[in-house]
Amino acid sequence: MSSTQKSLYERVGGEIAVAMLIDRFYDRVLNDAQLEPFFKNVPMDKLREMQLEFFSAALDGPAHYSGRPIEQVHKGRGITSHHLSRFMGHLLATIEFVHPNEREKQEMYGRIGLYGDAVLDDPLEGSE
Ligand code: HEM
pLDDT at residue number 105: 92
Yes or no: say if 59 and 106 are a contact pair by the CB < 8 Å rule: no
pLDDT at residue number 100: 77
Whether the pLDDT of residue 71 is over 90: the answer is: yes
Yes or no: say if 39 and 83 are a contact pair by the CB < 8 Å rule: no
In 3-state terms, what secondary structure has residue 38?
Answer: helix
Average pLDDT over residues 67-75: 95
Q: What is the mean pLDDT of the chain?
A: 91
- Give yes or no for residue 11 CB within 6 A of ligand 1: no
pLDDT at residue number 5: 83
Reported pTM: 0.93
**pLDDT tens sequence across 27-45:** 999 999 999 999 999 999 9
Residue 38 alpha carbon to ligand 1 centre in Å: 9
**Torsion angle in degrees (nearest 10) through CA of 37, 127, 94, 75:** 40
Residue nearest to atom 40 of ligand 1 (CA): 42
Rounded Cα gap, residues 29 and 91, in angstroms: 9
**pLDDT tens sequence across 82-114:** 999 999 999 999 999 887 789 999 999 999 999
Residue nearest to atom 23 of ligand 1 (CA): 119
SS (H, E, C) 109-125: HHHHHCCHHHHCCCCCH
- Give yes or no for residue 54 CB within 6 A of ligand 1: yes
**pLDDT tens sequence across 12-32:** 999 999 999 999 999 999 999
Locate all alpha helices (DSSP H) within 1-128, ordered by sequence. 8-11, 14-30, 44-58, 70-74, 81-98, 102-113, 116-119
pLDDT at residue number 4: 63
pLDDT at residue number 128: 44
* Count of residues making up the chain: 128
Whether the pLDDT of residue 118 is over 70: the answer is: yes
Rounded Cα gap, residues 3 and 58, in angstroms: 18
